[in-house]
Every structure is written in C-alpha cells, then in structure tokens.
Amino acid sequence: MSQLLASARRTASVVRWYWRGITGADAYERYVDHLRRTHPDSPIPSEKQFWRDKYAEMERNPTTRCC
C-alpha cells in the first residue's frame, strides 16, 4: 500500500510540474533562478511585483494572443 501511495505522489508531482509549465504558473520561479544564475547582484522583485510587471509588459507589447 505504501508503494502505491508513493507512486501516486510521484505521479501527482509530475502532473503538477507539467501543468505549471504549460500554464506559465512557474514563471516567477524560473525568473528568480535566472536572476540568481546570471545576475547575482540584481535585486529580486517580489512575486506580486513580478506579475504586475509581466502583465504590464504584455499589455504594452501584445504578441501572440487571440484577443
């Protein structure tokens, strides 16, 4: 039974990782990783500020959206 539970947890973890990648929900984490690797001296914005800036940029520069 514990092996089945462990397998279900691994599957759920993979599905969550995949879903967050498709929807872009992991964008902040990827951005922070990028900043730490390539710009270690740069300040890291809060998650709230990151999303504000991201959506503002999307509004200023629409690319591949249907509407």
Q: Is residue 13 situated within a structural domain?
A: no
Q: Is residue 34 situated within a structural domain?
A: yes
Q: Is residue 58 situated within a structural domain?
A: yes
Q: Does pTM top 0.75 for this prediction?
A: no
Range of the domain at 54: 25-67
Per-residue pLDDT, 67? 56
- Number of domain units in the chain: 1
Q: Is residue 62 situated within a structural domain?
A: yes
| CB-based contacts of 47, cutoff 8 Å, min separation 6 | 28
Write out the two tokens for 13: 């973890």
Q: Is residue 12 situated within a structural domain?
A: no
Per-residue pLDDT, 66? 62
Using CA atoms, how far apart are residues 53 and 47, in angstroms rounded to an integer? 10
Q: What is the pLDDT of residues 40-62, one digit of tens each?
A: 999 999 999 999 999 898 888 87
| 50 neighbors 31 (Cβ within 8 angstroms) | yes
Q: Is residue 43 situated within a structural domain?
A: yes
